[in-house]
A and B are shown apart, each in its own frame.
Chain A
Amino acid sequence: MFFEDLGNNLLTVLVFLPVLGAAVVALLPKDQPTLARWVALILSLPPAILAIGLFIDVLNADPSATGFYHEYTTEWFPQIGASWTVGVDGISMSMVLLTAILSPLGILIAFEHINNPRAVLALLLLLETAMIGVFVTLDMLAFFVFWELGLVPMYFLINQWGGANREYASMKFFIYTMAGSLGLLLAIQMIAWTVGDASNLGGPTFDLATWYNVWPSLGRDSGEILGFSYGTVKYYAFLAFFIAFAIKIPVWPFHTWLPDAHTEAPTAGSMLLAGVLLKQGAYGFIRFVIPLFPQDFAGPRELLGVIDFSFAEVFAILAMLGIVLGAFGAWAQDDLKKLVAYSSVNHMGFVVLGLAAGAMMYGALWAQSIDEPDMALSMINQELNNDDLLEHETYARFGTVDNLSSTDRRDLATLKLNRLREEGVLPRNEQSALVAMNGAVLQMFNHGLSSAAMFLLVGALYHKAHTRDLRRFGGLWHIIPVFGFLFVFTSMASLGLPGLNGFTSEWLVVSGAFPLFPIIVLVSMIGLLMTGAYILKGIQKVLHGPVNPDWLEYHEHHHSLEINLRETIAVAPLVVLMLVTGLYPNWILEVINASVTQNIFAVFTGG
């Protein structure tokens, strides 16, 4: 029955193909590493092909359609309301595509392991299942299972095949992420029961679609859960989600696990960690935090009764700090891999900035849709003042806005919103947020390409030179010209050179976020400047300078430092994708944009 349905259930197939491969690889004889390598590589190709096929399918779909493609639901744990529900939209599809492309490349790079390669390869395939699972599942329990499942192989990869400081790094990575997941699990359970109750299901439900419908506007006026008001409970649930995903991205200041974990992980592990695992955090924000907690995310809050803020603004400020301090952190490193690791903090900052802009306008749209114009105004940093009052004869007699009744206040706020809409302020801000969100998702994809390529190249050099210390390199360009070219190319993509991928998304984020957070974006530009500084530092310290006779000697008599054919083949698809995305981003942005427009913003505008 399940197998008959397989053709309509390609996403399920996609999720479990890699883990089947892992099983096969694990069962191979231990004394034949070459066999294990090739089997693992071959088994990682069908998921990639399938993912590309699915992507093309989504690309050809009607762009104005809402909802998810390739949706499939079947019972899983009916007793507790969990089901096996999968589906993709443009956002998750591009992430799945990224995962399915990076995994075979990671496996190709993992060929270099001599110490029990069978286990590395099996773990990588297991990791692929977990990563794809996170992106395609639409059931919160299954999501959590995949979310946690991803930690296990990565922990072992770092712990067993990592660098010198691997014990510390793997432990830090594991405990830090687990700490975030703990709150996430509790919050998921709590929401599942609450939503189940509210929809009279007689038990919990983990169905995301139901959550979307019920949870955001649940108990706005009154009501209690376990003796706490809805507002309080939602706030803490929001914080739990927020922190769990913020650690994963990582948002500054939750980032310190990242340089350690990336630096110590084996090359394939770093590629997937930077390329995909970080994106899960950002994906969590897009899929869960923004739609489920619009009020908590964008709504006004007070700190100590004095400082007014909203979490969207806090998020943007943290993004700014990540961009700026991440770049400075990278610049300060003398370890090439750590420099690249810090660059992830810097680049993911742009994702966060885009999401902050998106969260802000999403909240405002949501508040309007539930007829809370006052809240909507405060979300876009506007408030009713006496000038608004005097504009309308009906209300002018009240003298000041404080005298208005709540109904009148609501009507006046609606009038002001309408005016802002007519003047074009609101539509422009909405369009900006949409552009920023598009940029954020595209940046996720782009950073996946360029950071994976960077780690690959750094690993390729490290594997041969046995050092990553920038102070020991220099003058390598003439010794290893092919590596030099690839390194400069990838560095430039990472730097955001127009014509390559990174620029497109960074520009979209900057353009979209500037009208909403002008000061924050301007300060972030320091980070963009310093991106140039650390990238050039990397290039200069490795490639420039007089030919180093020690390395020349080593290169000619001991071990070639030039990138080998296998590594070149592994980096080639990334190089091509970086160039293509830079020159014609619409091949993927079209899909992303359709989902950002239809699945996120159009929910309220009815467009």
Chain B
Amino acid sequence: MDINWLDANYLPWLIFALPLLSFVVITLFIGRYKMLSGVVAAGAVFVSWLLAWAVFFKTTATEEFGINAYGSSFEWMDLGAAVFRMGVLVDPLTAVMLFMVPLAMLMIFIYSLGYMAAYPHDDPHHTRFSRFFAYLSLFAGAMLTLVVSDNLLLLFMGWEVMGLCSYLLIGFIIERKSAYQAAVKAFMTTRVADVFFLVGIGYLFAETQTLNFREIFWNPAVLERLGNPEETGFIGLSAAAIIGSFIVLGTFGKAAQFPFHGWLPDAMEGPTPVSAMIHAAAMVSAGVFLVVRMFPLLEAGGQVHHGDYTLPLILMGVVGSVTALGAAMLGVAQNDIKRVLAYSTISQLGFMIAALGIGAYIAAAFHLITHAFFKALLFMSSGAVIHAMEHGEHHAHDLGHHDLPHRVQPGEATPWGATYVGPEGDVASDEEWQPHVPDGIQLSFVAVPNDLQFMGGLGKRIPVTKWAMLAGTLSLAGAPLITAGFWSKDEIFADSLLFLTDAEAFDLGAAWLHMLVFTCLVFAATLTAFYSMRMWFLAFTGEPRSIMAEHATLMSGHHSNEHEHDEHQAEDHDHEEHHEHKVAMPWQPDFNFGTWWATYRDSALMQGPLVVLAFFAITAGWVGIHPDFPILRWFTGSTNYYHDFVGETLLEHPETIDFSWIPVLFSFVAFGIGATIAWFLYGREPLKENEQDPMIEVMGQPAWVALQNRLDIDNVWLRIFYMPFEIFARRVVAIGIDKETIDGLLEGIGEVATFIGETFKRFNRVFIDGVGDGIPMLIGLGGNRFRNIQSGRIQQYLLFTALFLIAIGAFFVAQAL
């Protein structure tokens, strides 16, 4: 077999194989070498990125790329006469993912090299650092597999392996209870959804005998049959509706949509690069990518652009808009910087899902890309902030400040008035097992370096991060015209307002889903602008609200030099001076790379990627500007590049909707209101140390606490599922059914058998043994009696003989007669 692996048809295999290979190499061979592992992992992703971009730019140069997609496959399973083929496919949708995913991943890997170098936790074998890069490589490989897969099964493989990686990485600090609990929660919540997804895949395969995207989606006959409830399916639903609903459920799990959203904020337990990986470049995007990918199936049997919705689309529209709005509300009341971003992720994914629910295919795929850029940027910036805060803590400690803000202990009142109950008890660890009753307020623990209340004024300490994060924040908030987030969100609004702008196609009464989506999303966008700007103001503006913020720094090298610390312990601020001003910068005459690198290594590795991503967080939206947009159309030309390129993924290219001012107006207003309120509350007069969050006054304490408690949804989950399941497992299955009923029955049978056996034994003793023993006994008895005859006297013998002969003779005589 002669394969040119550098041909665009085969290149995708290499793109995902390289990170997987680096996982194997690190795990088996070089795990003990810290830096080597990191460099190998980052190197593999770097090459993957080069290859992916090579493929991407080749695709943009290909004519009619939708039809002339690249791909190759091999025979994977024989099933009867049919053959299941496993392969890769690069079509326009994959191509744009290949533009975004490897780039974001490369940035995450480079960033991780800096972030993990000073990671405070280590283990006895010192493999934590390399293990991190091994998991991250596996994660990257799985995501790339998912992206280039040409069939649903390979996609599912990447999907689940990512689930495993997120489990391993969220629970990366395996000693910490909250970490592994969060890991289990993430895995199990997504698994609830995944088992449905699995059935959906199985059913689709049973109906079509293939899972290849092209074979299903580019075959109108198949789609029509699947979408027709007369021909396929059960209980009045078409096969497409059933399969589609299962697949959509799978997405809800992975993309953390209501009611499966609870795992994602907890997943912040993982190291921050992991959060960036999970929330931006990979996992949750995979959830949306799946429904974008499967869209032709989801809409099969309906006419979404005329208000004829299919069941999967309704599910997506309703759940997506509810989630977008609900998560944005929860995001308002978070103090953990990472948790603000977590809820913003849930909310933004809700935007995409809802958009897809009303058939806004391109808009959803567009927001997927822009969101990935600005969210990766935001997470990594927040990681830099946390890192700086942690360093600030060490630093302040070294300088003799011991009045650090302490962590809230269980049972203690929190600044916002509620009582922190503490992590839940370990369920089965007691000798006497008792069912676990979740009750009371369970405020999730906020680590001090993550807490926005203790930040403030960080802009002066880490200016690069400040400005990079501003780009991400504005993009998330949808700042008009310049940011990427504005353009993609605007496109979603445009699609959801189709019932107004394109009233001919719609029976207004039937367009209820469009209306719902539009209403929810506009409110959600307003809240988004508010909480994202709140986060930024709290973190970077004003004066430091804690000693940690005051001393925050990203520079490496000071707390690793233990001896220096001892010397300078007493010298207070000189210590700081020593590190911050002594090292010459590249533009200064006495620049020395070695010294500079030793000090600024972490800073450069962490902030360099931020700058790159900030560029894309702003510009990535410019490829999707509407060709009729006033003024800007002079610059962008007469096409919407993104729309035209990605549209080719589908057999029937989606139509471009006419330009209208109404959605643009709403985009402006949503951002304007949200950002203005944030400015009045947090920006105009920044929060001071020990000052209460102004929102508590605005909303009132109960509402604030309710939002902090996530509206108690997680507890409801525990009450409805976890507790009854555990009681069922322990009390009913293990004891009630197996031990008492089945084994009881068996023992009953055993006892009956034993009873019968005993009866026979008694019978034996009385009758059979009686007969058996009786015969010898009688013989013995007879023998004893007759013993006397054998006296040894010949005369007596002769007498008996004679008598006997006479008797016999008499007998014969009698016979003869």
Contacts and interface: CB of A to CB of B under 8 A. Distances in A.
B562 to A, nearest CB: 24
Contacts of A560: none
Contacts of B123: 478
A525 interface: yes
A584 B76 CA distance: 6
A593 B79 CA distance: 6
B195 to A, nearest CB: 4
B336 interface: no
Contacts of B632: none
B407 interface: no
Interface stretch (A35-43, A430-438, A460-468): A430-438
29 contacts: A325-B737, A328-B725, A328-B733, A332-B726, A332-B734, A432-B206, A434-B80, A435-B205, A438-B80, A477-B174, A479-B124, A498-B156, A499-B157, A503-B157, A508-B79, A511-B201, A511-B205, A514-B199, A521-B202, A528-B195, A529-B191, A529-B192, A532-B187, A536-B187, A547-B175, A585-B76, A585-B77, A586-B77, A607-B81
B175 A514 contact: no
B733 A514 contact: no
Nearest to B730: A332
B126 to A, nearest CB: 10
B119 to A, nearest CB: 15
Interface stretch (B393-401, B476-484, B505-513, B738-746): B738-746
A567 interface: no
A479 B167 CA distance: 20
Contacts of B451: none
Given A329-B738, A529-B195, A545-B177, A597 B746 contact: no
B171 interface: yes
Contacts of B77: 504, 508, 585-586, 589, 593
B180 A532 contact: no
The 4 A-B residue pairs with the shortest CB-CB distance, nearest first, are A511-B202, A498-B157, A332-B734, A332-B729
Interface in B412-460: 428-429, 431
A528 B746 CA distance: 28
A460 to B, nearest CB: 19
Given A256-B743, A329-B738, A478 B125 contact: yes
A511 to B, nearest CB: 3
A173 to B, nearest CB: 12
A217 interface: no
A438 to B, nearest CB: 6
A533 to B, nearest CB: 6
A507 B206 contact: no
Nearest to A482: B125
B209 interface: yes
A593 B201 CA distance: 21
Interface in B146-197: 153, 156-157, 159-161, 164, 167, 171, 174-175, 177, 180, 184, 187-188, 191-192, 195-196
A145 B428 CA distance: 46
A52 interface: no
Given A533-B188, A586-B76, A475 B206 contact: no
B9 interface: no
Main secondary structure of the interface of A (DSSP, over half): helix
B152 to A, nearest CB: 11
A522 interface: yes
Nearest to A492: B164
A471 B428 CA distance: 7
A533 B188 CA distance: 7
B175 A497 contact: no
Interface in B188-232: 188, 191-192, 195-196, 198-199, 201-203, 205-207, 209
B27 interface: yes
A475 B203 contact: no
Interface of B: 27, 75-82, 123-125, 127, 153, 156-157, 159-161, 164, 167, 171, 174-175, 177, 180, 184, 187-188, 191-192, 195-196, 198-199, 201-203, 205-207, 209, 234, 428-429, 431, 725-726, 728-730, 732-734, 737-738, 742-743, 746, 750
Given A256-B743, A514-B206, A593 B199 contact: no
A518 B75 CA distance: 29
Contacts of A478: 123-125, 174-175
B608 to A, nearest CB: 33
A435 B81 CA distance: 11
B124 A518 contact: no
A545 B176 CA distance: 6
A507 B152 CA distance: 12
A420 to B, nearest CB: 13
Given A521-B199, A540-B184, A545-B175, A471 B205 contact: no
A497 B196 contact: no
Given A435-B79, A498-B156, A586-B75, A540 B180 contact: yes
A540 B733 CA distance: 22
A63 B80 CA distance: 11
Given A333-B734, A585-B77, A428 B206 contact: yes
A479 B127 CA distance: 12
Contacts of B726: 331-332
Given A332-B729, A512-B206, A597-B81, A497 B177 contact: no
Given A176-B746, A498-B156, A508-B77, 16 more contacts: A428-B206, A431-B82, A431-B209, A435-B205, A479-B124, A485-B27, A499-B160, A507-B153, A511-B201, A511-B205, A515-B206, A529-B188, A536-B187, A544-B171, A544-B175, A601-B80
Contacts of B746: 172, 176, 256
A543 interface: yes
Given A525-B196, A585-B77, A511 B203 contact: yes
A536 B177 CA distance: 14
Interface string A165-203: 000000010011000000000000000000000000000
A332 B159 CA distance: 28
Contacts of A596: 80
Contact of A431 (B75, B80, B187): B80
Given A518-B234, A521-B199, A547-B124, A435 B80 contact: yes
Contact of B80 (A492, A525, A544, A597): A597
Contact of B207 (A428, A536, A584): A428
A511 B428 contact: no
B160 A497 contact: yes
A176 B745 CA distance: 13
A481 interface: yes
Query: Which of B80, B726, B729 has the largest count of A CB atoms less than 10 A from its CB?
Result: B80
Interface string A112-153: 000000000000000000000000000000000000000000
Interface in A488-536: 492, 497-499, 503-504, 507-508, 510-512, 514-515, 518, 521-522, 525, 528-530, 532-533, 536
